[in-house]
Amino acid sequence: MKFFLDTGNIEEIRRVNRLGLVDGVTTNPTLIAKEKRPFKEVIQEICREVSGPVSAEVVGLTTEEMLKEAREIATWAPNIVVKIPMTEAGLEAVNILSKEGIKTNVTLIFSAAQGLMACKAGATYISPFVGRIDDIGEEGMQLVRDLKAIKDNYGFKTEIIVASVRSIAHVQQAAVIGADIATIPGSLFPSLWKHPLTDVGIARFLEDWKKVPQ
Ligand code: G3P
């Protein structure tokens, strides 16, 4: 499974990139707003740091607005993916952009039907939001299982990005299901390599090492 970082923060990306674990980055308007810097500047800096795909989201709601923004954003770097919301206008934009060779990530997917339509429209990636489904009392990971089955049934090339990831369990379950990618918040990522028993184990080894005659 590929690891994307779900952040607009370059320091969070650099920290994980030093470990060779960043396969790509996803952003959204909320994450960009946190950086308090111009959108293009943030995205271009991330694209210089990471060679994998970097998703940048449009904010227009009509197909024409989305296409205009997408064609502009796609010129910012060779590894740009344009994030498009899952709407009728969005599907039309994805269909056109896919024919122009512009990569798309259809975001805010909350049902298998939405995912299926995005695959058929030509999306490069689809992003089911598992955490937000859990928030309303349903099981987000069931949607990932369903999308994986649909993808396998029909051989869609579209890659599934498990998004709205909130916990280590989400990342582990995504990998067990066989999702292509999990996009992980920069603040959550370091907890993936930590375990309290590892810390206890190291402390005990160091304590015991003092008993070894030097
Ligand atoms: O990748 C989508 C993600 O940024 C949304 O996460 O936690 O706001 O639902 P969250």
CATH number at residue 134: 3.20.20.70
Q: What is the pLDDT of residues 100-143, one digit of tens each?
A: 999 999 999 999 999 999 999 999 999 999 999 999 999 999 99
5 in Cβ contact with 13 (< 8 Å): yes
Question: Considering the chain, what percentage of its residues have pLDDT values greater than 90?
Answer: 100
Q: DSSP for 29-49?
A: HHHHHHHTS-HHHHHHHHHHH
Is 45 among the domain residues?
A: yes
Q: Closest ligand 1 atom to the C-alpha of 185?
A: 4
Is 117 among the domain residues?
A: yes
Is 210 among the domain residues?
A: no
52 in Cβ contact with 79 (< 8 Å): yes
Q: Residue 214 — very low, low, confident or very high, per pLDDT cuts 50/70/90?
A: confident
Q: DSSP for 68-93?
A: HHHHHHTTS-TTEEEEEESSHHHHHH
The residue segments making up the domain with residue 47 are 2-189
Is 214 among the domain residues?
A: no
Handedness of CA 15, 22, 165, 163 (dihedral sign): positive
Is 87 among the domain residues?
A: yes
Q: What is the pLDDT of residues 89-105, one digit of tens each?
A: 999 999 999 999 999 99
Cα separation, 135 vs 113, in Å, equals 20
Q: How many domains does the chain have?
A: 1
- The residue whose CB lies within 8 Å of the most ligand 1 atoms, and thus the one to mutate among 28, 32, 187, is 28
Considering the candidates 36, 40, 68, 83, report the single residue annotated as catalytic: 83
Q: Give yes or no: 36 in active site.
A: no
Is 207 among the domain residues?
A: no
